[in-house]
Structure 1
Amino acid sequence: MPSGESVLEEPDLALIHALQLVPRASWTQLSAVLGAGPDTLARRWEHLTAGGYAWNGFLIRHQGRVAPLYAWVEVDCAAGRSEETALALADDPCTLGVHEVTGDSDLVLLVLCPDLEALDAYLSLRVQRLPGVTRSRTQVVTGVHSARNLWQLDQLTPRQSRQLLGTTVPAQGGQGGQGGQGAPRRRPQRLSGLDEDLVLELAGDARRSAAELARICGASESTVRRRLDALMGGDLLIHHCVPAPRFSGRPVWALIRADVPSLAVVSTAAAMARLRQTRLVTSVTGGHNLAVGAWLRSVGELNDITTAMERAAPALRITGTALSLRTHKSGAQVLGPDGRRLHHVRPDLHAPLWQDRRV
């Protein structure tokens, strides 16, 4: 995979960094910090998103006290059927990662389901019935120790960051509507039906206006603004504002499997999460008890990170690695052969898990 000279310029990266900090800030607020006019920033963001070079969206972390179920699924395909199988699975609402990989399997999926029963239905009624699939193996995630935004940029100065995070933005129509990031975080006990509808609409574009969301969801603008303020102030959402991986400086995805003594899992996972390359650190069922997803600058960096993992946790034993030959899906975003975003798929877990819900 080519590392790809980035098409992103310094102003692009600064804008992405600003939206990582305040995803629904108005263009006027951003203009005061970034030193470009609101119209210029709006045009720049439109270029990035329309071209598939970056995106800004939300996913549901969990529903009230009940966390959804994650699983790593390895898929073997008949000769010549890997790509078509990956394309089909990328359009499923419950896949948050679809990679063609090196190693013992052809595909690795990260799957999100409401519970074990739904996972079984997805595997038996969808994955295992695809014509190109010959076998699948599943590891249920028993703990998520780190799920961070790997591409947290550092383009803004500390002063600019403080200025953004300390500014309160009134909830109003247009491309704005998030309350001040410095306010105390409030955690809703449970997502309402309207909340879930709002998050589904924000999965592909976190900056959709309150007026547009109200029209789509059949609610008043004032109600939508109130619910958005509550959602933004809680910790039920996962925010992704990132450049497309191929243009991020870390274009190579890797899955690293490891085994550690049970008593050392928590401390080892914490050490893994501190490594710059790691994005998702999970405890899993099966022959090894840790699975780590990472984004690397190059294929050669795989050796660097496995060495760093073993140094950070001497009790750890690497049991297997896989590199992505092509990433078809990252989060809710479906990526094309050139690494750019094609479209997003609504991660609606209440719909049939194999229903095509691309947007």
Structure 2
Amino acid sequence: MIHALQIAPRASWTQLSAVLGSSPDTLARRWDHLTTGGWAWSSLIVARGGDTTLYAWVELECAAGAAEATAIELTDDPYTLGVHQVTGDADLLLLVVCPDLYALDAYLAGRVRPLPGVLRSRTQVVTRLHNRPYRSRIEQLAPGQVQHLAEATGGDRRVRIPGRAQTPLTELDRKLVAELAGDARRSAAELARQCDTSESTVRRRLDALMAAGALHHHCLPAPRFSGRPVWALVTADVPPLEVAATVAALTRLRHTRVITSVTGPHNLALAMWLRTVEELHEVTATLVRAAPTMRITGTQVSLRTHKIGAQVLGPDGRRTHHIRPDVAI
């Protein structure tokens, strides 16, 4: 069911029933159980990229015993798309998104560094986001089921990364994104009531935003229960003239989820989810075999993930709630 929703996020339960072989009522009850219990979620957020938005990896060193409280504090910020307690020299690793360098500086100086638990911070600005976060699928459907789903829903609706924002978001668009960040399957009727507009207008705007690549959908199981519970960040150095070929090779690997070019002592940072900590050794060897000019400069493993995208995870690894995004970004 999760794989089907990754392909067709707003397909009706009747459409999915024909593919998955269960009744619409059974699918709806099962999905309600997964989402209510925090085992899985479906979310729509603004697709950020091009020259309109800035990403950064931010490492924080914290006072003894303060890392967890600081992490929990930062999960409430719409600017954090990832909050991880990690191994290595840093205690916390954040993936931050801001409108521009000035906003990033204001956020770090006014919000992050003044926190009582923070001793030091190091920031690496992402100069290029090479692929979409949460782009991977869990690949559980048979090829025939994927084809059947595409035919039932009018085609595979995966969104490709646009070079830049196609059109500015309207006020209604911003309201829709804010409502869909917590549950991408909210009905058009419910969205229309919430946003004080008509169902046809809601459907028309969502179709237009998806077609323009303005929205990014991610449907995920809670990582701890997904079979790949270990988050890791690998940093690497690649000769500048080899970056394009290296990224192309790395993108084809199953393990790599987010590939970013960054400022600082190394020029690539790759985030991934692994089955076990031991798999990290195998994965780094695979990365170097795929891109022989790449030199691994560091690895970090998450001891606990507090936030993914807009979703906040509890100590047991299940989703507890979501943070409404800053759709002005």
Q: Could you tell me the TM-score, scaled by structure 2's length?
A: 0.94
Structure 1 position 110 matched with structure 2 position 88: no
How far did 1:195 drift?
A: 1.3
Equivalent residue pairs, number: 325
- Fraction of identical pairs, as percent: 64
Structure 1 position 86 matched with structure 2 position 43: no
- In structure 1, runs of 5+ residues without a counterpart are 1-14, 169-179, 352-359
Say if 1:329 and 1:335, in contact at 8 Å, map to a contact too: yes
Structure 1 position 221 matched with structure 2 position 195: no
How far did 1:292 drift?
A: 0.5
Alignment of 1:1-359 (within 5 A): 15-62=1-48, 66-149=51-134, 151-168=136-153, 180-181=154-155, 188-350=166-328
Q: Could you tell me the TM-score, scaled by structure 1's length?
A: 0.86
How far did 1:150 drift?
A: 5.6
What SS does the corresponding residue of 1:279 show, helix, strand or coil?
A: strand
> Which amino acid in structure 2 is aligned with residue 213 of structure 1?
L
CA RMSD of aligned residues (A): 1.9
Deviation by residue 1:102-144 (Cα, 9 ceiling, x = unmatched) = 0010000000111111101110000001010011110000001
Instruction: Please list every run of at least 4 consecutive aligned residues from structure 1 whose deviation after the TM superposition is greater than 3 angstroms.
Output: 148-151, 182-188
Say if 2:236 and 2:267, in contact at 8 Å, map to a contact too: yes
CA distance in 2, matches of 1:346, 1:244: 19
What SS does the corresponding residue of 1:146 show, helix, strand or coil?
A: coil
How far did 1:347 drift?
A: 1.5
What SS does the corresponding residue of 1:138 show, helix, strand or coil?
A: strand
What SS does the corresponding residue of 2:131 show, helix, strand or coil?
A: strand
The verdict on how the C-alpha distance between 1:249 and 1:185 changes in structure 2, with shifts beyond 3 A counting, is closer
CA distance in 2, matches of 1:321, 1:347: 29
How far did 1:254 drift?
A: 0.5
Say if 2:7 and 2:156, in contact at 8 Å, map to a contact too: no
What SS does the corresponding residue of 1:111 show, helix, strand or coil?
A: strand
CA distance in 2, matches of 1:343, 1:151: 22
How far did 1:75 drift?
A: 0.4
What SS does the corresponding residue of 2:113 show, helix, strand or coil?
A: helix
